Copies of this chain bind each other. A is one copy, B any other.
């Protein structure tokens, strides 16, 4: 069994590894996990001793197969609980993350599989992120950053790079939801803002917002 702290480190490292393709170093982890570099050093040593990751200084960490397996288990739990909170307890997608951060650490050999079955094996969480199955297999959808879409192209909103509640609330306000169809109408060269159109309305989004929207291209 692993402590909550250990699980959080593994999960964070996995996510960093898959989101950014850069080197995952001490400071980056410290930043994401909201702690200090010295604390990360300590934990890296511990996880390395347990062979959950390898570490070369200045070259960053790399999860071992075992480390990745554990990370995926925690992510699976997190996302299934988020799904539960939204679908069964009527939370909205911007309210569930902090509760799932706690629920993901509940220890039981059977709980999460029973929950999954109760939820009828959902494949994605409320933020469009894929839910790893029992064996850690994960569906990868081919998506493109909205920043890289040309004028006239169409797609559907598949998932988000940033799932912070601030961003989610922004999307609520702008009436943008997962699976909405989005068409790029115009790109403003001055500030890279993007004029888009959904099935119901049009709006202009900033470069920063566009960068956080992953689009599945329709052809």
Contact = CB atoms under 8 A, between A and B. Distances in A.
Interface of A: 85, 88-91, 98-99, 102-103, 106-108, 111, 114-115, 118
B89 A118 contact: yes
Contact of A103 (B88, B89, B90, B106): B106
A99 B111 contact: yes
Contact of A106 (B90, B99, B111, B118): B99
A99 B107 CA distance: 7
A109 to B, nearest CB: 10
A91 B118 CA distance: 12
A106 B85 CA distance: 13
B114 A90 contact: yes
A2 to B, nearest CB: 14
Nearest to A89: B114
State the copy count for this chain: 2
Nearest to A98: B108
A102 B103 CA distance: 9
Contact of A111 (B89, B108, B111): B89
18 contacts: A85-B111, A88-B118, A89-B111, A89-B114, A89-B115, A89-B118, A90-B114, A90-B118, A91-B114, A98-B108, A99-B106, A99-B108, A99-B111, A102-B106, A102-B107, A102-B108, A103-B103, A103-B106
A203 to B, nearest CB: 31
A92 B104 CA distance: 22
A88 B127 CA distance: 24
Given A88-B118, A103-B103, 16 more contacts: A85-B111, A89-B111, A89-B114, A89-B115, A89-B118, A90-B114, A90-B118, A91-B114, A98-B108, A99-B106, A99-B108, A99-B111, A102-B106, A102-B107, A102-B108, A103-B106
A99 B108 CA distance: 7
A91 B108 CA distance: 12
Contacts of A90: 114, 118
A88 B115 CA distance: 9
A108 B106 CA distance: 15
